[in-house]
Structure 1
Amino acid sequence: NPPSLRDFIAFEDHIAATSKKRGQPIPPEWYKAPVYYKGNHRTIIGPDVPLSWPLGTTKLDYELELACVIGRTGRDIPERQAEHYIAGYTIMNDFSARDIQFQEMACRLGPAKGKDFATALGPCLVTPDEIADLGALTMIARVNGEEWSRGRFGTIHWSFPQMIEHVSRGETLYPGDVFGSGTVGGGCGLEIDRYLKPGDVVELEIQPIGVLRTQVVSATQGG
């Protein structure tokens, strides 16, 4: 497991869509600094590892994200030097129990139990020199072979170097720390009003990294 997991909300299209569902505009604070939460780094699962259905939810969702992994210890890292601290990139599925998430976040804290049960990473780590143009990466989500989402990483508002600069201000980053980009626009069931069910196979594809595959199983199957 990585020493820490931070997940951002860095795509404007995504926060615009989710804010609209709540009948609200994008908070002006979102444009001032990269916003993130700290996830549960001890419940990370790898590729092809089944996801046991989390108790208490009827709205299980996937989230299509790119993640970067920190490769060097650093603190107070300026944006112009931040790329030198990235060891590589992988695919991230920030699974969410939407009904639980929205209930707990109505108290203006979290997310917590709505996301703590699992985050998937994989299938491998690709070094920065293996990706010619990060912004050109196409991000695709399929459920049972049917395409549900497609986006482009280049639509991101807050870059990984900007995230690194922000987080490292007065705080030390360590090798293995994971930064999730947040969901690409249209990259989750919440935005399209479709949710997962037991038995579904979720595939997130970002080439040249590959395909991150997860099957959702019932709680009894998952132990």
Structure 2
Amino acid sequence: MRIANLRGRLVLVVEDRALDVETASAGRFSADPQAVYERWQEFLDWASTADPGRAEPFEHRDLGAPVPRPSQVLAIGLNYRDHAAESGFALPDAPTVFTKFVSSFTGPYDDVVLAGPTVDWEVELVAVLGRTARRVPAERGWDYIAGLTAGQDLSERTVQGAGPAPQFSLGKSFPGFGPTGPWLVTPDEFADRDDIALGCAVNGESMQKGRTSDLVFTVPQLVAELSAVLELRPGDVIFTGTPAGVGAGRNPKRFLAAGDELVTTVEGIGTMRHRLVPA
């Protein structure tokens, strides 16, 4: 099942058409794309029997972030072996956690304003919570995931590295630096939810390629590690990390420039396209 945020309204995506959830459910579920995660199992039960006959064609440019206002955003650093190596770090013993502020969220096709001369790309698989999680064992971690979407952890590297201690959250939270989409896909849709290909390209040139089977901490392990410390809530978002190939890890370094097109693809989910524009 795929759900999306179409012009601010929750929809079920059926092939190339969109079914408005509030209308199709006769008001049982709100049009608010964020509200559905609080009633995720009830929504799944209804959606499995929903009549797609009233679904209508739509423009992909009208899609927004499938989870527009999560209460918490957890982002994981150094979570691919090859990315840790290119960054000059040993593999972490526990997840390296920071946040992206929600004001950075944007849709899958919006323009992104460059915040400085060292803006970098980071393709990521993004996991969304469908249940409250507290002290969840890893073997049950997938039970708490509503679905998966594509993400970019865009980063202004100069801001990120400024000061006596790194400013990870600040450097990664400029407006538009948290694009997700194009929709959320439930885990049952994947042939192997623990081995998903992902990558990104700039102006048609491949920059990153990876598979989630190379994660240091898998999605269910992240649910376990994070929920051991804090309560994860329905609709919370986890950026699970990026593979090797970031601009800061290249020699010479390479960063995004005005006019660049950044294309992000995650297997089984789809593609996002973002044009970088000057401030």
Q: What is the TM-score when the length of structure 2 is the normalising length?
A: 0.70
Contact 1:74 1:172 in 2 (8 A): yes
Equivalent residue in structure 2 for 1:158, among 217, 226, 234: 217
Correspondence 1:13 to 2:82:
yes
Q: For residues 128 and 151 of structure 1, what CA distance do their matches in structure 2 show?
A: 19
CA 135–83 in structure 1, closer or farther in 2 if over 3 Å, else same? closer
CA 170–97 in structure 1, closer or farther in 2 if over 3 Å, else same? closer
1:203 corresponding residue in structure 2: 263
Q: For residues 151 and 26 of structure 1, what CA distance do their matches in structure 2 show?
A: 19
Equivalent residue in structure 1 for 2:153, among 76, 87, 94: 94
- Structure number with bigger Rg: 2
Structure 1 runs, 4 residues or longer, greater than 6 Å off: none
The gaps in structure 1 that reach 5 residues or longer are 20-24
Deviation at 1:72, TM superposition (A): 0.5
1:22 corresponding residue in structure 2: none
The gaps in structure 2 that reach 5 residues or longer are 1-68
Deviation at 1:209, TM superposition (A): 0.3
Query: Which SS does the other structure have where 1:36 is aligned?
Result: strand
Q: For residues 53 and 87 of structure 1, what CA distance do their matches in structure 2 show?
A: 32
Query: Which SS does the other structure have where 1:197 is aligned?
Result: coil
1:169 corresponding residue in structure 2: 228
Q: For residues 247 and 213 of structure 2, what CA distance do their matches in structure 1 show?
A: 21
Q: Deviations over 1:138-162 (max 9, x none)?
A: 2121111222221222111111111
Give the share of equivalent positions with the same residue, in percent.
Answer: 33
Q: For residues 180 and 163 of structure 1, what CA distance do their matches in structure 2 show?
A: 10
CA-based RMSD: 1.5
1:26 corresponding residue in structure 2: 90
Contact 1:135 1:155 in 2 (8 A): no
CA 150–109 in structure 1, closer or farther in 2 if over 3 Å, else same? closer
How do residues 57-206 of structure 1 correspond to structure 2 at under 5 angstroms? 57-104=116-163, 107-117=164-174, 118-186=177-245, 188-192=246-250, 193-206=253-266
Contact 2:208 2:243 in 1 (8 A): no
Deviation at 1:170, TM superposition (A): 4.1
Contact 2:128 2:236 in 1 (8 A): yes
Q: For residues 227 and 166 of structure 2, what CA distance do their matches in structure 1 show?
A: 22
Q: For residues 222 and 131 of structure 2, what CA distance do their matches in structure 1 show?
A: 15
2:71 corresponding residue in structure 1: 3
Contact 1:4 1:178 in 2 (8 A): yes
